Structure 1
Amino acid sequence: MHASPLPKIVILGATGPTGRHLVAQAVSRGHDVTVLARSPEKAAELKGAKLVVGDARDEKALRQALKGRDAVISALGTPASPFRDVTLLSTATRALVKAMTAENVSRLIAITGLGAGDSRGHGGALFDKAIFPILLRRVYADKNRQEDIIRKSGLDWTIVRPTILTNKPGTQFVRALTDLQGFHGGSIARKDVARFVLDQLVSDEWLHQSPLITA
């Protein structure tokens, strides 16, 4: 018996700090990887991936990146925005769902974060009472819109919500939870997030679910 070939993937947000780990690990696992990035300079260090230059909000660029692919990982992020409304994540996700539907690509794994949807209020006292309302409220309003678009998309989706992200070496151990009763706070290495997300490409364990992941 032959093992089924690894899914060919598109990674959005590949030049971000978590996206870089996703690309490196996906390439080392043997995935055929395409990245969509606005800046060829920033993407130059992403060894082993095919680059499509374009904006993640542009349906045409997305369709070009999606040709012949099996799955999409969205690691799109947006900086803290205390004063200005954020729309990047929902706008890009709306375009992505249309592009995936048009190109018959059904598997989507999207990284959002602790504080989205029903994980709000589980970040620990400092995060919930200060960081979230002052710095992240607008970002998370958009993450909520993004999650809503994904849930209604008709795609084979998994939403992954990491706790506070760190640049530590990674532990190889990840807890994934959907029952957050009694859970407050936590952190996780970006390396471990990338590993968990890539594992979902060959697993249906969290299909149509939104696990929170922590170390």
Structure 2
Amino acid sequence: MKILVLGATGATGRLIVGKAVAKGYTVVALVRSKAKAADLAGAELVEGDARDTAALTSAIAGCDAVVSSLGTAISPFRKVTLLSTATRALVGIMAQQNIRRLVCITGLGAGDSRGHGGFFYDRLFLPLMLRTVYEDKDRQEDAIRASTLDWIIIRPTVLNDKPARGGIKALTDLSGVHGGTIARADVADFVVQQVTADMWLRKAPLITW
């Protein structure tokens, strides 16, 4: 199994790379700077921008699946387009190359998970600090859903850096969900499992402790 990881130098992306390598997968990481990704042990590094079709085409060659853990900085006032632009380019190239499986991380507050983050998150933090980011996550999810790929969208609750503890809950019925937290390590485990599992195919589970 050969997989391409986007967002591999982020805090969660690094864990995904490590767990995929440990599982015996061949991992390609598309990174902006090879120098800043030199510690991604076991991964083949391809330098380029995830929005650039030439870079994506080069990185994805020979891959069986793609994991996107792309993220973007908080941008309260400036429009965010990175996630949707990169994803639109990606799904087009995957279709051309007949690469079927896409596992993509978005987050609590995207799509129909909006309104399930708890009072502070829903009423203050998301609209004031994350509005433009989540508008782009919505566009990103829309691009994936419009594709013919075998996709899984994963929406973690608030991320923390605690050790993995397993036993996470994966939910599509969000009745009674009002926030939550989960370790990046548990997210990475779940993501790598979805590269070959079909339980959540074409679904968008929220994952939490």
Q: Confirm whether residue 18 of structure 1 aligns to residue 12 of structure 2.
A: yes
CA distance in 2, matches of 1:29, 1:105: 20
Q: Confirm whether residue 68 of structure 1 aligns to residue 70 of structure 2.
A: no
Q: What is the number of equivalent residue pairs in this alignment? A: 209
Q: 1:155 aligns with which of 146, 149, 152?
A: 149
> 8 Å contact 1:10–1:66 — kept in the other structure?
yes
Counterpart for residue 3 of structure 1: none
Counterpart for residue 40 of structure 2: 46
SS for the counterpart of 1:61 is helix
The Cα shift of 1:118 comes to 0.3
Q: Confirm whether residue 87 of structure 1 aligns to residue 81 of structure 2.
A: yes
Counterpart for residue 213 of structure 1: 207
Q: How does the TM-score come out when normalised to structure 2?
A: 0.99
The Cα shift of 1:56 comes to 0.2
Tell me the amino acid that sits aligned with residue 37 of structure 2.
A
Counterpart for residue 165 of structure 1: 159
CA distance in 2, matches of 1:63, 1:99: 7
CA distance in 2, matches of 1:200, 1:61: 25
CA distance in 1, matches of 2:3, 2:138: 24
SS for the counterpart of 2:195 is helix
Q: Confirm whether residue 187 of structure 1 aligns to residue 181 of structure 2.
A: yes
The Cα shift of 1:98 comes to 1.3
> 8 Å contact 1:114–1:164 — kept in the other structure?
yes
Deviations 1:89-142 (A, max 9, x none): 000001101111122111000000000000001001111111001000100000
The Cα shift of 1:202 comes to 1.7
Deviations 1:4-28 (A, max 9, x none): xxx2100000000000000011111
Gaps of at least 5 residues in structure 2 are none
Alignment of 1:136-147 (within 5 A): 136-147=130-141
Tell me the amino acid that sits aligned with residue 126 of structure 1.
F
CA distance in 2, matches of 1:42, 1:109: 24
Cα RMSD for the two superposed structures:
0.6
CA distance in 2, matches of 1:67, 1:82: 36
CA distance in 1, matches of 2:111, 2:88: 18
